[in-house]
Amino acid sequence: MSVQSCQFIVQVISVRAVESDVASVNVICRLERLQALADKLGTDCRTCENHIDSLSRRLAEVQCRITIYLLYWTYLEQLQSLLVFQVTDCL
C-alpha cells in the first residue's frame, strides 16, 4: 500500500469521524431541547394540577353552601305551610 493511499484512507476516516461527531452533537442538541420542553411541560402540569385542586376545593365549598341554602329553603317552606295552616284555622 502506498503512502498516498494510506493518506487517503486517513482523510476518509477523519471526514467520517467529523461527520459522526457533528451528527452526535446535533442529536445531543435535540435531546437537550426535548429535555427543556419536558421540564416546562412538567412545570405546567404541576401548575394546572394546583389550579384544579384549588377549583375542586372551591366547588366543594360552594356545594356545601348550596346544600345549607336548600335545607334552609325547605325549612322555610315548611314554616310557611304551617303558618298558612294556622292562619286558616283562625279564620
pTM over 0.75: no
Max distance between CA atoms of the chain, in angstroms, equals 131
pLDDT band, residue 1 (cuts 50/70/90): low
Distance from chain centroid for Cα 43: 8
pLDDT tens-place string over residues 7-19: 767 677 777 777 7
Question: Residue ranges of the alpha helices (H) in the chain?
Answer: 3-90
Amino acid in the structure at residue 88: T
**What b-and-e string marks burial along 63-72, b requiring 16 or more CB atoms within 10 Å of the CB?**
eeeeeeeeee
pLDDT tens-place string over residues 21-74: 888 889 999 999 999 999 999 999 999 999 999 999 999 999 999 999 999 999
